[in-house]
């Protein structure tokens, strides 16, 4: 991987397959990090799984038992009953079947 330059995402590498390396869209954060659009941040957020390359704030996968209000939020909250929250990326579909609303 080649380090992206300072006009791209700070701390990112050119590692997005199929995207020309001259494009900022080809920059991706490594495993254990996510991009907030400007900087690669450590994925120290409880309740998310950062084991893939190229995660962004919007694509952070919420793990089972956790919930978040909207896709641009890094505030991940534990559900009142972990069985009610199935996790995922789509904030509209984080609740298990039969449960809705904040914290499912």
What is the pLDDT confidence band of residue 66, given thresholds at 50, 70 and 90?
very high
pLDDT for 2? 57
d(CA 4, CA 11): 7
CA–CA distances in Å: residue 5 to residues 1, 39, 62, 86, 102 = 12, 12, 30, 38, 40
Coil, strand or helix at 48: strand
Q: What is the mean pLDDT of the chain?
A: 82
Q: Is it the case that residue 11 has pLDDT exceeding 70?
A: no
As a whole number, mean pLDDT of residues 89-99 equals 91
């Amino acid at each position: 991987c080649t380090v992206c330059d300072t006009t791209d995402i700070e701390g990112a590498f050119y590692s997005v397959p199929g995207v020309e390396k001259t494009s900022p869209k080809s920059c991706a954060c490594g495993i254990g990090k996510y991009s907030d659009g400007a900087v690669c941040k450590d994925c120290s957020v409880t309740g998310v799984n950062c084991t893939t390359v190229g995660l962004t704030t919007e694509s952070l996968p919420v793990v089972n038992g956790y919930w978040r209000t909207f896709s641009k939020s890094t505030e991940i909250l534990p559900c009142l009953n972990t069985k009610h929250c199935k996790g995922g990326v789509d904030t509209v579909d984080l609740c298990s079947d039969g449960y809705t609303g904040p914290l499912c």
